[in-house]
Structure 1
Amino acid sequence: MKRQRNPQDDLTFLYQREYGEPAELALRLSGTLLGSILLYIYTGWLAALLWSGLYLAVHAALYGFLRLRKRVARPRDPVIAGLLVVAGLCAFLWMPVHLAAQEDAALSYAGLGLMATTMVFLSRRADRDLWMIALQIIVIGGLWAKVSWHVAARAHAWPEKGGIALMTFVVFFYTAQAMLLSRKTRLAGEETAARAAQEQKASAIGRLAGGVAHDFNNVLTVIKGNLELADLLEDPKDRAAALDEARAAAERAEAVVQQLLVYARRAPVRRERLDAPRSLDRILRQAAPLLPAGVLLMPQGQPDPHCVQVDEGLLTAALINLIRNAADASVPGDVIRVSTRAVQLDDPRRMADCSLLPPGAYASIRVEDTGHGIPAERIGRVLDPFYTTRPVGKGIGLGLSMVLGFAREAGGGLALDSDARGTRATLYLPLAEAAGPQVPQTKNAAPERTAL
């Protein structure tokens, strides 16, 4: 079955094809501008300046359209963008074609070179839509035929003309074949990646369902057993104790549900503007009594004030989860250091779930322990729901999953780094803008369309 694409994905793809490689884009645009200036100096043609101006104008139109529409795309927008791409190809190639037909050797060589590099670029580009590739092939074929016609007009014998015609066909055929093969390879790769993602999602849902069923079965067993025991006991104190055990088990089930909602990004969220260092101090005071004896919890550094806009309760739960995990890996005498600072990411940064955190301004909240670290064979699984190394009854394995869900909902990420010196968990949360509403906002987060 053919996989359906949405217009937003198509526009994002085109944006990446055109503007995803800044170095190549800068070379392409600046090279065209510089080339037109040199061509004007060499020939005195005003058309040389018109060439770069027209090409840059079409690119500006395409860039503006993609930036405007790629977030909220209409069904016809990919067609408009595709036509602008083909228009940009025509705006660039008409001058190389004109140069290639000149008798001046330098001009002819420059024109043929620009046409050859354009064909290489189109073959590597691998557009998705067949109609776009067909139009590109028609443009390339028509312009190359025009060059061949001018070259053949200077030939003196039919064998020369025949050789030129044959070479034109060969160039056209192999260029078209390369472009179509690149498209086929890209689509096959996308289909393979989509199937792998679906299989991963199905596997994750299976593990999640199994974990939920196992944990709730344990909780229900405790509740049912204590309720039956309460019916049999005559001593009021014993009956009250059994009911307290059943109530505690029900509260554990409620906690599991809440953590699942946070992980799935369906929990009601009340965002408010928080000063990160002050919130961290308050959370550390709450977390200190939870630590084992002999393990020291220490704030690190004196950060400048910086604000985040998150749910305060979820931030508290996330950091206490990280601190408790650090405490579990520590022994008396170890130190857990917690710090926060404002950072500016200039490049995408890989997170623990293999996602890439976009460049931007973030609050980096780090929890660092001096424990034994996470073994290499386990670090890839610690984010899996219900994965835990704690004894039965001591944890359900949703702590880091909940932290990850909170970070995703806030627009940030979670990074993990572990070795023999300890583990460092870093929570990245986008910095709140200097100006903006400070009134708490309530939002029901939509589920993320990624594998768990």
Structure 2
Amino acid sequence: MPKAQRNLRIREILEVARRTRMEFAAQVVLITFTGAVAWMATGLHCIPLWVALHFGLITVERKITRRLRNSESPFALPAVLAAHLAIGAVFAAMPVYLWMQEDEAFHFTGTVLLLGSILNIFLVRAQIWYLALCFVAPDAVAIALIAGHIARQTPTPAQAITVWVVASAIIVYLGVALLQAARAHRRHLVTREQLVQSQKMEALGNLAGGMAHDFNNILNVITGTLDLARDERDPARIAAQLDRAHAAADRGASLIRQVLSFARKSHLEPRRVDPPAVIAEVETMARRLIPERIAIDTLVDPDVPAVRVDEGTLVTALLNLVLNARDAIEGRGRIILSCTLAPGLPSGRRGRVMFSVRDDGHGIAREMIGRVTEPFFTTKPVGEGTGLGLSMVAGFAAQSGGALQIDSQEGAGTEVRMLLPLDDGPAQPKPPAPANRPAPAPIAKPRCVLLVEDQRELLELLQIFLRRSGHVVHAASSGDAALALIEDGVCPDILISDVVMPGQMQGRDLAALVRERFPQAQIVLMSGFEEASFGCPEQKHCDMLFLAKPVRLAELAEAIAPR
């Protein structure tokens, strides 16, 4: 199981504990009171020991769960589930013990305890099937042991068979209920993913107008600069104008990558994230969404440490908070994005980074603050909001091991603070930014290049560049055409291919075929989509290089340089 999925499951268990604090408090009072009464009435010293052991295990389990929620160990989730299994086993042991006593009052007490355990499973634990299993299994064993004890006491075989039939029916029912819980949990995960995507699509719709404006400006710079270069005679001025066009194209490529990352559909993939970079990205996107009458300021501590979260979902969450702040401001106003180390943490707790979005809008009524994170609850007029924004932000914060705090006062604005855990791992070096490096000189020994690209103008451009570099180029406009060239005897030293193309043979398939037939060939894949969108079909094929479009010629030359 991937580490991100393990950590997500641990955080789901933590979230169940957080949502059921009142039920747990009632359980403490009820079990402690009844245990004390039973001890005084019966004199059984095992009862207070059982109560102490039960709540002691719960305390240990919660400490283990909090400590392991961001663990790298593959044994983190099994350790958490083992702690829950121990709690379930200890609780189920008492009904069995009471049924072994002769007094029928003990039998009634044991039955009530077992019934309470089953109700607790399906009212609280069933939200997560693998958590419910840790309590269903001990209860099923307890029912079987009690049935065996009763069957041994019955005078006739028919009565014993009846006892076992009833016990088996109850155990089967528990199994069926567990399967239903598993299906409900899967539906919940699918629904949650769909809600996250709906929020992204809503924000992308808002971004479309601003993006169109930015792209028109970028295209205007490129076309205007090329028009000037066409009529220019001075080589130095031509080079300067072409550099300006290159810079504009890079801005367009950066904008595309930003939107692709934002719209990416995936499960949470926590990794090391630099908070100042996230704030800068959110500010850039927010300025396309916020009217000029609303000012946007940022307050960022440059020394704030990295956090461990899913970067794309963090950007989505902050952008949702910015959109909420925009909608809360009537007329002129100000939105402040800030990022600092969270103050005032109790000693012994891991540090957190605080992301904050503050506005000077109309604020939220005190009686509403407790409800604003409920799904589909909104204070906006009908048709102007789904009521999912703050709910999704709160869910993301909880799944990431953090928390959401809201401060608001009517007429004085609102501040939403998201506290996220620090990343304890070593810093990862950032990849160098692409530079306008000159292409290398033609190589001494020509190499055979199989070039596959379905966009005609790009195919011709890359052909010209590769032939100028001294390579022998065989070009194809699809994977199927490239396969035909190979069947006709082309033996490529280098494969350069788009990933998504018309026809049956896609870039990944072609690369796998070339790797199998020509093990020494270099393979370079190009795409305008994210590399993570395609995955790696087999581990042995993961030595392929990936270049994100638009591909700079210098980058391509470096990628196919002899090794």
8 A contact 1:7–1:74 mirrored in 2 = no
Distance 1:59 1:267, change over 3 A: closer
8 A contact 2:7–2:70 mirrored in 1 = yes
1:368 maps onto 2:356 in alignment: no
Counterpart amino acid of residue 126 in structure 1: A
Counterpart-to-counterpart distance in 2, 1:363 and 1:137? 42
8 A contact 1:10–1:78 mirrored in 2 = yes
Task: After TM superposition, list the pairs within 5 Å mapping 1:257-336 onto structure 2.
Answer: 310=301, 336=332
1:27: how far off?
1.6
Distance 1:269 1:61, change over 3 A: closer
Distance 1:208 1:360, change over 3 A: closer
Distance 1:264 1:212, change over 3 A: same
8 A contact 1:336–1:367 mirrored in 2 = no
Counterpart-to-counterpart distance in 1, 2:228 and 2:75? 67
8 A contact 2:356–2:416 mirrored in 1 = yes
Structure 1 vs Structure 2 CA RMSD: 6.0
Per-residue CA deviations over 1:347-373 (Å, capped at 9, x if unaligned) read xxxxxxxxxxxx999988432389xx9
Per-residue CA deviations over 1:159-212 (Å, capped at 9, x if unaligned) read 433332222122222122112221222123323433564576578669868964
8 A contact 1:362–1:429 mirrored in 2 = yes
Distance 1:76 1:205, change over 3 A: farther
8 A contact 1:261–1:267 mirrored in 2 = no
Counterpart-to-counterpart distance in 1, 2:84 and 2:11? 14
1:83 is matched with 82
1:428 is matched with 416
Counterpart-to-counterpart distance in 2, 1:198 and 1:256? 23
1:99: how far off?
2.0
1:71: how far off?
2.5
SS of structure 1 residue aligned to 2:360: strand
Counterpart-to-counterpart distance in 2, 1:12 and 1:269? 22
1:43: how far off?
0.7
Percent sequence identity over aligned pairs: 19
Counterpart-to-counterpart distance in 2, 1:260 and 1:427? 30
Counterpart-to-counterpart distance in 1, 2:405 and 2:133? 44
Distance 1:26 1:141, change over 3 A: same
8 A contact 1:363–1:428 mirrored in 2 = yes
1:63 is matched with 62
Counterpart-to-counterpart distance in 1, 2:122 and 2:148? 24
8 A contact 2:57–2:86 mirrored in 1 = yes
Q: Which ranges in structure 2 are unaligned for 5 or more consecutive residues?
A: 233-243, 263-271, 278-290, 304-317, 337-351, 364-378, 390-401, 420-428, 431-531, 533-563
1:151 is matched with 150
Distance 1:171 1:415, change over 3 A: closer
Distance 1:73 1:25, change over 3 A: farther
Distance 1:213 1:413, change over 3 A: farther
8 A contact 1:122–1:179 mirrored in 2 = no
2:71 is matched with 72
Per-residue CA deviations over 1:406-452 (Å, capped at 9, x if unaligned) read xxxxx9989999xxx9x986343579xxxxxxxxxxx99xxxx9xxx
8 A contact 2:3–2:74 mirrored in 1 = no
1:40: how far off?
0.9
Distance 1:151 1:22, change over 3 A: same
Distance 1:369 1:221, change over 3 A: farther
2:215 is matched with 216
TM-score of the aligned structures, taking structure 2 as reference length: 0.45
1:256: how far off?
12
Counterpart-to-counterpart distance in 2, 1:96 and 1:267? 50
Distance 1:414 1:225, change over 3 A: farther
8 A contact 2:129–2:181 mirrored in 1 = no
* Greater relative CO (CA pairs within 8 A, separation 6+): 1
2:126 is matched with 126
2:508 is matched with none
1:10: how far off?
1.6
Distance 1:211 1:62, change over 3 A: same
8 A contact 2:88–2:139 mirrored in 1 = no
1:92 is matched with 91
8 A contact 2:35–2:51 mirrored in 1 = yes
SS of structure 1 residue aligned to 2:73: coil
Counterpart-to-counterpart distance in 1, 2:414 and 2:256? 20
8 A contact 1:133–1:180 mirrored in 2 = no
Distance 1:257 1:361, change over 3 A: closer
1:36 is matched with 35
8 A contact 2:129–2:185 mirrored in 1 = no
Q: Which ranges in structure 1 are unaligned for 5 or more consecutive residues?
A: 234-246, 272-290, 298-307, 313-317, 341-358, 384-410, 432-442
Task: After TM superposition, list the pairs within 5 Å mapping 1:320-359 onto structure 2.
Answer: 336=332
Counterpart-to-counterpart distance in 2, 1:256 and 1:267? 22
